[in-house]
Structures are given as C-alpha cells and as structure tokens.
C-alpha cells in the first residue's frame, strides 16, 4: 500500500491563500494557533494530508477547513479555493457604525464667504 503524500503545513496554508506570505503562516503555526485534526501543532514542518481538518483563527473569525488537495503553487483564488472545503461557522452580522458628525471644527474659507454673503444673524 502506497503512503498518502504529505505537504508542509505552512506551505499548504500559503498555497491555499490563507496567509499572504509563507513566513506569516509559519509564525502563526509556531505561535500554536493551528490545530490539525484537533491536535495543536507548533511546528511549521508538520505534515498535512488530504482529509485532515485544520482549525485556526484568521482575524476575528475562526476557520475550519478540510484539506481536499495539495497545491503545487500559489495560484489564483479559484485554484486556491479548490484545495479545501470550508466548514467555518457563519460570521455574525456586522453592527452598524455609530453616526458621525459630518462637519466639525473651524469653517472652511468657502463656508466663511457664504456666511459673509448672508450677513450677521439677527436673533
């Protein structure tokens, strides 16, 4: 029986476009932020095989992906998305931002000219 081929974890994360550089992927793995099949991995050289489940945080979201294929290069996004199946929980809806005051501070030169044309307010 032939053993299933494996690829380095940091290399696969880079090929699948989860991280912008391979060194960022390696740093995340070294910091202990990635689990392979539920086991925390701390070495970027850990092997990943087809069928493994990876769990890691990316920004404020938790990503859960199954490895479907090995990448030979860091290609375009559709090629990278073919390397995994995403099982991540849906992101919570974004909260609307607080309203902002449009104008603030000192009036601009244009605003001052318009105020001069109108004249002083008589109250």
Tens digit of each residue's pLDDT (9 = 90 or more) over 35-53: 999 999 999 999 999 999 9
Tens digit of each residue's pLDDT (9 = 90 or more) over 73-122: 999 999 999 999 999 988 888 887 776 666 667 888 998 898 888 877 65
For residue 34, the cross-strand partners are 41, 56
pTM of the full structure: 0.73
Domains assigned to the chain: 7-90 (3.10.290.10)
Residue that is written with structure tokens 């004249």 in the block: 119
- Measured in degrees and rounded to the nearest 5, phi and psi for residue 49 equal -120, 165
Tens digit of each residue's pLDDT (9 = 90 or more) over 51-76: 999 999 888 889 999 999 998 899 99
């Amino acid at each position: 029986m032939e053993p299933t081929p494996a690829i380095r974890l940091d290399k696969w994360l880079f090929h699948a476009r989860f991280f912008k550089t391979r060194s960022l992927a390696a740093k995340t793995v070294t910091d202990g932020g990635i689990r392979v099949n539920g086991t925390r991995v701390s070495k970027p050289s850990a092997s990943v095989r087809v069928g493994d489940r990876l769990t890691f945080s990316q920004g404020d979201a938790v990503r859960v992906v199954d490895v479907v294929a090995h990448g030979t290069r860091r290609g375009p996004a559709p090629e990278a998305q073919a390397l995994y199946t995403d099982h991540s929980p849906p992101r919570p809806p974004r909260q609307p931002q607080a309203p902002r005051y449009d104008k603030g501070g000192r009036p601009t030169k244009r605003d001052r000219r318009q105020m001069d044309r109108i004249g002083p307010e008589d109250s």
